[in-house]
Every structure is written in C-alpha cells, then in structure tokens.
Amino acid sequence: MRFFDFSISARDGATSARRGTLDTLHGPVETPVFMPVGTRATVKGVTTPQLADIGAQVVLANAYHLFLRPGHDLIAEAGGLHPFMNWDRAVLTDSGGFQIFSLADTLSLDDDGVRFRSIVDGIWHSWTPEENMAVQMALGADIAMALDVCPPYSAEEREVAGAVRRSAAWAARCKAAHHRENQALFGIVQGGLYPHLRAESVERTVEIGFPGYGIGGYSVGESHEAMLESLEQVTAALPVDCPRYLMGVGTPTSMLRAIGLGVDMFDCVLPTRTARTGTALSSTGRMNLKNARYARDLSPLDPACPCPTCTGYTRAYLRHLVVMKEMLGSILLSIHNLAFLLDLMERARTAIEEDRFGRFLEEWLSGPGADDY
C-alpha cells in the first residue's frame, strides 16, 4: 500500500470543482475537506473523540508552536503526534513559517534560513529548511509543509518577489532533506496579488515536484474578490492530479467559491475562535449569542444542524453559558461551528458527485447567510 495518494472521482460540469480522495497512512480523506486547527496538538475545547464524532478527517498542528512547547523530541518519544494527542486519523503539520514571519520585529532572515525569538521565553532560535524538516519528520504527521517565506499584505512587489525566490529555494532544500517515507511533503505557492509573481511561484514550485501544493499568502488583508481573482489563476496553473490546499481560509462562502475554482483542502481557526467570543455559524449567517433576543429562545441553535449542540441545547441555554462566561459555552459552540463547516464540505462533495455543485453554489450565494461570511 502506498502511504500517500490522491485520486479524483468526480468533476462538476459547471465549475472546476472536483471530488477526490487522499489516501494516507491513517486512512482516507474525502475532499473537498475542511481541517480543524489543532495548533498545539489540540483543537481548543474539543476532544479527539468529539472531533471524530462530528466527522473531522484531518487535524492540523503547527511545527513552530510544538517545537517551542512541548518539543518535537518529546512528541517523537511518544510515538508521534497521533498517539500523543490520541488521534488515529490523518494529521497535517504546518511548517510554522506564517507564525514566524508574523513576528517581523523579532526575526532576521537570509538565504540560509530564519532566526527568531521564542514567544515563550524570549530565547533566540535558528531554523534552516533542513532543520524545519527534521522537526516535522519527528512530529510524524501524514502531511508536512515546506518552510516558506510569507510576506505581509502590505509588502511591496520587490519584497514579494524576494519571498517567491527564497520560498522556491527553500522548497528544493526541504525536498532534499525530507526522507520520512510515510509522510508526504507539500510545496507552497506564494506571490501575493501580483499575477506574474504567482505564476513564477507556481512554475518554480511545480518544477521541484511535490505530491500536493499549498497556496499561501491569502486572507491576510486583501479583499475577498481580489483573493478569488488571483486564486483562479493559481489553481488553473497547478497540476490537475495533485491536491490543492488553500491555507488559512475557512469562511463558508470563501470555501465554496474556492471549491468552484478547484481547491481541495482548507484550514482556519475561525470556527473555534469565533465560538470563544460567543458567535455561532449557521445556515442563516453568524449568530451573536450575547444578543438579548436569544435570552428566552428555547429553539435549537440551528434547526438545520444535526450536531450534538443543536440537538441537545437551546439558544437560551447557550446564551446563558456565554453571558456567564462558562467554559461549556465555548466548548458547545466550538463543536457546533466545526460540525457546521464539516457538514458543509460533505454537502459540497455530494453536490459534486451529482454534478450539481454549480447550482449548490448559486443557492448558497443567494441565501440568507452568504453575505455574512
């Protein structure tokens, strides 16, 4: 059995949407797929059995944060992320590049690698692409991401061009250093909103050759329409037989429109982060449970949702938990928000199988919740 493969089983006739399967060492992953973010080897407020119950297929963890605490050596000693976090389905580790480069005032960068100050204790660390691969191989995820340079949205063209060049050079070094046979390594495309730099990044990264491709540098401040216009160019240029992973994007409308452009994989902290502020995602848009209108509302959170939160608790009770700042409120809303997005992906997969995703997308865009996302 191959430890990683990707096959496409259906295509939508009206869009570029496709339905596929990622075969990993820890089971198949049906695409399009949303991946809950478990940055520190935990999806905040949700146990791994609960994740499995609501249909999560992959959990994302972050090499930067796990390198700092508890340390990749400890996780390797435990047998890798899967036994360490009690999760027997697929895991993807992000390289941590985005987190490092978001701390621009505490890093130095050159062609060899990046030097950064720990957010935990202030100690300086240095990472080359080779060292980043060593960390991710020790973590033992099914999919690892190449270390790349993610410039901010405000970056000028010259800086973005440099990031494209350096990301490609680092991607080649990551591939050369990566030798864990049961782990797939994905390359990452950068380039900001500059069409020629996106095209160059695709060409450079595809030339190196990876079994899958991340698309980074979006959802960092640009408009929704600008992102989609640029994304269409990128997806059209990437290999058709490889999975395409739009990194850090996870609002319902963005995901559905990106699926229509041929994207297969998504991740985002949105569902759990908004849950901790008392906000629920729903078929009619975002719901702020702090709102007094829900104080005596004994109906389900979202009558269209079959998740444990919606079938077991009322809006009034959930509002009570949120207002009183009880941790159970964040937990129940996190479960619901994740279940909502996972169910949306399941419905998208079914629509593609039945060659009606174009209609499914139109119905969503004309529905009551589309503009709220």
- Per-residue b/e over 260-293, b at no fewer than 16 CB within 10 Å? bbbbbbbbbbbbbebbbebbbbbbeeebebeeee
CA atoms of 198 and 226, how far apart (whole Å): 13
CA atoms of 291 and 54, how far apart (whole Å): 27
Task: Answer whether residue 338 shows pLDDT above 80.
Answer: yes
Instruction: Residue 247: name the closest of 177, 148, 105 by CA.
Output: 148
DSSP letter assigned to residue 286: -
pLDDT range class, residue 373, cuts 50, 70, 90: confident
How does pLDDT run across 279-322, given as a tens digit for each residue? 999 989 999 999 999 999 999 999 999 999 999 999 999 999 99
Alpha-helix runs per DSSP H in the chain: 48-53, 63-68, 72-77, 81-85, 97-101, 129-139, 157-177, 195-208, 224-237, 252-259, 270-275, 308-312, 315-323, 327-353, 357-365
Q: Is 62 helix (H, G, I), strand (E, B) or coil?
A: strand
Average pLDDT over residues 208-234: 95
Cβ pair 230, 195 in contact under 8 A: yes
Output the average pLDDT for the chain.
Answer: 96
Q: Tell me the sheet residues that pair with 91.
A: 59
Task: Answer whether residue 265 shows pLDDT above 90.
Answer: yes
**Main-chain phi, psi angles of 64, to 5 degrees:** -60, -50
Q: Is the pTM value of this prediction over 0.95?
A: yes
End-to-end CA distance of the chain: give it in Å, rounded.
41
In order of their start, the domains of the chain are 7-275 (3.20.20.105)
Q: Which of 269-273, 278-282, 357-361, 367-371 has the lowest mean pLDDT?
A: 367-371
CA atoms of 106 and 89, how far apart (whole Å): 35
Cβ pair 75, 139 in contact under 8 A: yes
Task: Answer whether residue 346 shows pLDDT above 60.
Answer: yes
Long-range contacts of 116-123 (CB under 8 A, 24+ apart): 118/68, 119/68, 120/68, 120/69
Q: Tell me the sheet residues that pair with 36.
A: 268
Helix, strand, coil proportions of the chain in percent (round to 5)? 45, 20, 35
Task: Answer whether residue 152 shows pLDDT above 70.
Answer: yes
How does pLDDT run across 28-66, given as a tens digit for each residue? 999 999 999 999 999 999 999 999 999 999 999 999 999
pLDDT of residue 104: 65
Cβ pair 16, 262 in contact under 8 A: yes
pLDDT of residue 296: 98
pLDDT of residue 1: 46
Q: Which member of 12, 264, 267, 302 is catalytic? A: 267
Q: Which two three-digit tokens encode residue 193?
A: 């909103």
Q: Is 279 helix (H, G, I), strand (E, B) or coil?
A: strand
Position 144: which residue type? Answer: A
pLDDT of residue 157: 97
Q: Tell me the sheet residues that pair with 240.
A: none
| Residue 244 CB-half CA count within 13 A | 29
Q: Which two three-digit tokens encode residue 92?
A: 């993807």
DSSP letter assigned to residue 226: H
Q: Is 94 one of the catalytic residues?
A: yes
pLDDT range class, residue 2, cuts 50, 70, 90: low
Dihedral angle sign, alpha carbons of residues 260, 266, 270, 276: positive
Q: Which two three-digit tokens encode residue 167?
A: 């990301």
How does pLDDT run across 61-107, given as a tens digit for each residue? 999 999 999 999 999 999 999 999 999 999 999 998 888 877 767 77
Q: Which member of 94, 142, 302, 343 is catalytic? A: 94
Q: Which two three-digit tokens encode residue 152?
A: 């901010």
Cβ pair 140, 76 in contact under 8 A: yes
Q: Is 241 one of the catalytic residues?
A: no
